[in-house]
Structure 1
């Protein structure tokens, strides 16, 4: 009887577009991330491409209690990020900037949904799969590098973690993190299976590069799926140095 009741509840939730899982590494991407971070004793997260703070909020919901430092280039998103983190003493928001391969300024293409904003032009496979991601404007942002800003935050950290969510611009962020990567224990990065932004490097290149830096691919999970056909277009890759 109990099993059939659970089945009825599951079918009712699925009909509403909701799927419920136990918070366990086998069934929850967030639980999987937190379990890996705990195993490697991560005590600092450099959150590159924070948008409005969704990632930091998820980390706290999952039980991560260490320091977070967030970086975001878009003015409106940065303001919301600062607001969201204001009561968390271990969550620092760096001054508004993009992170890439050099110091200077850069134009950011702003998407309607904000989260798909990128330095790079968006390609049709992305905009077709997510019409709400189309660009609606541009904004100039200061540009710096991970190497240029990380030093002020790494002091006292035994196991830093670098998360990169920059919509096709991950390669350039790594170019600007050459000196920092040696002290980082883990990396989380978007891996595109097909070109979504003009000029981006795809998943094979990114995996080979991080493996060359001494990281092991720890886990992957779908991050962007075309709702029309179920094709996985982008993964979140989790890498750790063993």
Structure 2
């Protein structure tokens, strides 16, 4: 056994191990943060798209912020960003990546229909961790994520959009990306906001339709859709609830995208 291996084994058997792991994690976070801060053509495309919703000084909620690829854009646009992310590793990264960013607030929770706790299904691919076991069944059965695993669980605190608004104010824009839990997040909203986006998948459209109906009950609202990561609207105009349901039903089974809602009476 070489000297290097002996040292490693010794460190692994002593209190030095937690210290070593701590500094290793810090170095990794710093490296990832540097990569994150680089500006790409995809970042610019997203900025060009989101600036129709967000102006400097606006309040934005990033629900399901993950590692901040949208929060990065919202911050660049001059928004006050409230990033909501319950996954420990993702929230730790956000805390490091935005440590020097003014007007950035991290909420280490999930959002839902009511305050409480819930069990999150954690995937090694953190972008598909979810609070919805029904969504997991749907995307595995469809083949979209047939080979993926959700083999860990995390108990997370759950709050509501209404409570977030009471604490931070009424947002100009809310981005929701919570892998099938959108219906529950929207159920926690009772008042119009500027605009909302939420991810949809064809195999889980029933939930998306419920979100449309719920938003339509809150106040006068118009809808659009964007497929994939195109950062372009698919419809020639904003449409009402009935028309957007027809448009969603026409989406190809292999496609996914984002539903956009814009309230006509919200202050913005």
Normalising by structure 1, what TM-score? 0.71
Matched position secondary structure for 2:179: coil
Aligned counterpart, 1:67 = 80
Q: What SS does structure 1 have at the residue aligned with 2:151? A: strand
Q: Which residue of 1 aligns with 2:139?
A: 125
Seen in structure 2, the aligned counterparts of structure 1 residues 88 and 110 have a Cα distance that, compared at 3 Å, is: same
CA change 1:167–1:175 in 2 (3 A) is same
Against the structure 1 CA distance between its residues 113 and 101, is the aligned structure 2 distance closer, same or farther, given a 3 Å change threshold?
A: same
Map of 1:17 onto structure 2: none
1:48 shift after superposition: 1.0
Give 1:1-242 correspondences, 5 Å limit.
28=45, 30-38=47-55, 43-60=58-75, 63-94=76-107, 96-121=108-133, 122-123=136-137, 125-126=139-140, 128-130=143-145, 133-154=148-169, 160-178=172-190, 181-182=191-192, 184-195=193-204, 201-213=206-218, 214-222=220-228, 232-242=254-264
> Aligned residue pairs: how many?
199
Which whole-Å CA distance do the structure 1 matches of 2:229 and 2:103 have between them?
Answer: 27
Give the root-mean-square deviation of aligned CA atoms.
2.8
The answer as to whether partners of 2:160 and 2:189 remain within 8 angstroms in 1 is yes
Q: Which has the larger radius of gyration?
A: 2
For the structure 1 residues 133 and 84, does the alpha-carbon distance in structure 2 shift closer, same or farther, using more than 3 Å as the test? farther
**Which whole-Å CA distance do the structure 2 matches of 1:109 and 1:133 have between them?**
12
Could you state the TM-score of these two structures normalised by the residue count of structure 2? 0.65
Deviation at 1:151, TM superposition (A): 1.3
Distance in 2 between residues matched to 1:109 and 1:69, nearest whole Å: 23
SS in 1 for 2:126: coil
Deviation at 1:140, TM superposition (A): 0.6
Instruction: Select the structure that is richer in strand.
Output: 1
Q: Is the 8 A contact 2:46 2:73 kept in 1?
A: no
List structure 1 runs of 4+ shifted beyond 4 angstroms: none
Match of 1:9 in 2: none
